[in-house]
């Protein structure tokens, strides 16, 4: 409660803060409702196999969400280019290229290497300051699919994942593609190339193409659940859905050439990885999809429910680092393996599902056209200079974003930064509330000519220290948001709901309306990602901190009357430069 109160102060008026303090004191008083709800959390913890939060978070944050997971939940990333294959600058829309096929095959092989390591428990653990983190999330990457159900979705998964096929998609056609031989052994990259060529050639020559059923995965979850239930009544559809659900992962071959306005620059390329061509040629329910364009560029799209983005990110970064791909040990590219042929998955579509598909096309296009991603590259400096200034690189960027927002709007806003709680068994994330009284004081003072440079630097250091304290607390499970969510969902009567004034206090909603939703990936030069804003008038900001540069992706909803990603991009870059200049000036003259 003390930490929560501190987090709402910069967002509150004096009168509003007094009301909040009263609500907090009533809630947390001995024998009060807070104590009752806390005891229910203890009981929940006893019933859960690992921790009280795991199932609650999965259901409330993701599976009960009824709006489309497309764009709203799914995130994207763009990989660095393959150093051996490069980019085909002559790729034409509607076509495929060998660079595309060869890169896709190499990435598939590299990702299969990771699945083999996960199955045999040979994947080296992620580390945080010398401490190994819980690796449970990696069990929910391969053979994993979110299944729509009315009211609350479910997740099907395999561990160890023994599936021997992937799903390949080309021109909205879906294929089950074996990537192991009939004995269950790995095949060469050359063999995977041939499998993908078989897929492309069948689509190009077939006179019997299927409807774009994958577009249904972009729909409202209840709408999709009803359509899937109708599809499952037919044995042909059940077999197709089983093949998709059990597949290791999805590979999408996109025919968007360099002549297309969709890919006129790197910003548009990243937008394409987020929203595809208005949701086409995807199965958004799979845990992750590798996307390879016909110019040779590649990326991924991840479904956030089963795992956090850093988990999928590691799999993808390892695959990109391993390029140009090499066959696994003991595999001969000259050997002709006994391998099953790709199977074109078929559908039986009734009139009602057909109408749902047509509606989904319209709805997906509307949603896709309402989001925009803008990239920003800060190439003046990176983590090396920031560390020399004795500041955490991550906190430096967070303070720059606080200053940038204040400069643009002349007020602070609730800010979300992702903290990992994987130091705990089955831990996922907690919120770092980046906006503090200290960051507000710093932001207010920075452009005030009546404040000395010495005082500005001291205010900056105070903001940095406050953020560091909250970051440490969040990573150790002592944040605000997950605990408050847990308490709120223990309320089981109208009387208790009325009594819990802490949750009806306007400050609570304001502090959870994260107009800045931010995440630090920091995966070097191999991977840059992004996601949509979590509020109507907010920004989604993903950033990577390299040694010599910092890169951002900044998203906004186009129909928002309050956001301007171009201006925000400029404000963030200028704020970083200005903070650096102030630190250097202070160091020079003190």
Q: Report residue 114: phi and psi, to 5°.
A: -65, -40
Kindly report the average pLDDT of the chain as a whole number: 96
Q: Is 272 a catalytic residue?
A: no
pLDDT tens figures, 307-330: 999 999 999 999 999 999 999 988
Q: Are 207 and 350 in contact (CB under 8 A)?
A: no
- Please, which pLDDT band fits residue 335 given cuts at 50, 70 and 90? low
Q: Which is the catalytic residue, given 165, 171, 272, 304? A: 304
Mean predicted confidence (pLDDT) in 215-227: 98
Rounded-to-integer distance, Cα 365 and Cα 363, Å: 5
Asked whether the domain spanning 67-369 has the same topology as the one spanning 2-56+373-589, the reply is yes
pLDDT reported for residue 203: 97
| 227 has a pLDDT exceeding 90 | yes
Which is more confident, 69 or 258?
A: 69
Peptide bond into 419 cis (omega under 30): no
**Mean pLDDT value across residues 443-449:** 97
pLDDT of 409: 98
Q: What dihedral do alpha carbons 184, 185, 189, 190 form, nearest 10°? A: -80
104: pLDDT confidence band, cut at 50, 70 and 90?
Answer: very high
CATH architecture assignment, domain 2-56+373-589: 2-Layer Sandwich (3.30)
pLDDT of residue 8: 98
| Domain topology for 67-369 | Chloramphenicol Acetyltransferase (3.30.559)
Q: How far apart are the first and last CA of the chain?
A: 40
Q: Mind listing the pLDDT tens digit for each residue in 386-444?
A: 999 999 999 999 999 999 999 999 999 999 999 999 999 999 999 999 999 999 999 99
518-571 pLDDT, tens digit each: 999 877 788 899 999 999 999 999 999 999 999 999 999 999 999 999 999 999
Phi, psi of 47, rounded to the nearest 5 degrees: -80, -25
- In this prediction, residue 331 carries a pLDDT of 83
Mean pLDDT of 256-279: 88
CA distance 51 to 231: 37
Instruction: Kindly state the percentage of the chain with pLDDT values over 70.
Output: 99
pLDDT of residue 262 exceeding 80: no
Query: What is the pTM for the complete model shown?
Result: 0.96
- What pLDDT does 103 receive? 98
- CA–CA gap between residue 248 and residue 144 (Å, rounded): 7
CA 166 to chain centre: 22
E strand spans, 43-95: 75-79
**Whether residue 174 has pLDDT greater than 90:** yes
Mean pLDDT of the 357-380 span: 96
Check whether 260 has a pLDDT greater than 90: no
The partner residues of 279 in beta bridges, in order of sequence, read none
C-alpha distance from residue 154 to each of 64, 182, 221, 228, 245 (Å): 9, 31, 11, 13, 12
Domain residue ranges in the chain: 2-56+373-589, 67-369
Segment 24-49 shows an average pLDDT of 97
Per-residue confidence band for 332, with pLDDT thresholds at 50, 70 and 90? low
Cα dist. 67→152, 304, 381 in Å? 11, 14, 40
Where do we find the tokens 């913890």?
45
Measured in degrees and rounded to the nearest 5, phi and psi for residue 291 equal -115, 125
Q: Is the pLDDT of residue 336 over 80?
A: no
Handedness of CA 41, 42, 47, 51 (dihedral sign): positive
């Amino acid at each position: 409660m003390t930490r929560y109160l501190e987090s709402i102060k910069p967002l509150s008026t004096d009168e509003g803060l007094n009301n909040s303090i009263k609500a907090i004191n009533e809630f947390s008083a001995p024998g009060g409702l807070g104590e009752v709800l806390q005891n229910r959390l203890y009981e929940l913890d006893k019933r859960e196999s690992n921790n009280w939060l795991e199932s609650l978070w999965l259901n409330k944050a993701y599976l009960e969400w009824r709006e489309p997971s497309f764009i709203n939940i799914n995130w994207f990333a763009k990989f660095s280019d393959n150093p051996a294959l490069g980019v085909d600058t002559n790729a034409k829309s509607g076509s495929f290229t060998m660079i595309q096929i060869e890169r896709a095959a190499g990435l598939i092989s590299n990702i299969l290497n990771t699945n083999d390591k996960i199955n045999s428990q040979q994947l080296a653990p992620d580390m945080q300051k010398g401490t190994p983190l819980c690796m449970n999330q990696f069990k929910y990457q391969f053979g994993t699919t979110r299944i729509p159900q009315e009211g609350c979705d479910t997740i099907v998964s395999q561990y160890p994942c023994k599936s021997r096929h992937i799903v390949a998609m080309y021109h909205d056609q879906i294929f089950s593609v074996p990537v192991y031989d009939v004995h269950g052994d790995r095949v060469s990259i050359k063999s995977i190339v041939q499998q993908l060529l078989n897929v492309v050639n069948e689509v190009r020559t077939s006179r019997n193409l299927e409807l774009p059923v994958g577009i249904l995965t972009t729909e409202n979850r209840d709408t999709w659940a009803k359509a899937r239930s109708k599809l499952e009544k037919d044995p042909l559809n059940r077999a197709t859905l089983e093949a998709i659900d059990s597949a290791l992962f999805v590979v999408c071959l996109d025919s968007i050439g360099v002549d297309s306005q969709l890919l006129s620059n790197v910003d548009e390329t990243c937008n394409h990885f987020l929203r595809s061509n208005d949701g086409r040629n995807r199965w958004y329910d799979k845990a992750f999809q590798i996307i390879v364009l016909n110019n040779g560029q590649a990326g991924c799209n991840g479904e956030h429910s089963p795992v956090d983005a850093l988990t999928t990110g590691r799999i993808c970064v390892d695959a990109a680092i391993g390029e140009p791909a090499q066959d696994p040990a003991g595999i001969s590219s000259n050997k002709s393996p006994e391998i099953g042929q790709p199977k074109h998955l078929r559908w039986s579509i009734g009139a009602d599902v057909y109408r749902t598909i047509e509606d989904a096309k319209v709805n997906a296009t509307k949603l896709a056209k309402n989001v925009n991603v803008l990239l920003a590259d800060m190439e003046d400096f990176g983590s090396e200079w920031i560390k020399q200034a004795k500041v955490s690189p991550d906190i430096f960027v967070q303070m720059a974003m606080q200053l940038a927002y204040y400069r643009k709007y002349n007020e602070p806003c609730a800010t979300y930064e992702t903290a990992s709680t994987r130091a705990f068994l089955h831990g996922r994330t907690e919120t770092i509330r980046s906006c503090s009284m200290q960051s507000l004081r710093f932001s207010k003072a920075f452009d005030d000519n009546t404040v000395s440079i010495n005082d500005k630097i001291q205010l900056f250091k105070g903001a940095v220290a406050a953020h560091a304290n909250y970051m440490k607390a969040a990573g150790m499970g002592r944040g605000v948001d997950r605990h408050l969510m847990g308490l709120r969902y223990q309320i089981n009567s109208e009387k208790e709901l009325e009594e819990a004034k802490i949750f009806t206090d306007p400050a609570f909603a304001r502090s959870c309306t994260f107009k800045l939703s931010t995440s630090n990936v920091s995966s070097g030069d191999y991977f840059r990602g992004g996601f949509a804003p979590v509020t109507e008038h907010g920004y989604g900001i993903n950033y990577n901190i390299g040694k010599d540069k910092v890169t951002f992706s900044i998203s906004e909803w186009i129909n928002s009357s309050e956001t301007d990603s171009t201006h925000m991009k400029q404000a963030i870059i200028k704020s970083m430069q200005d903070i650096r200049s102030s630190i250097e000036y202070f160091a020079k003259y003190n």
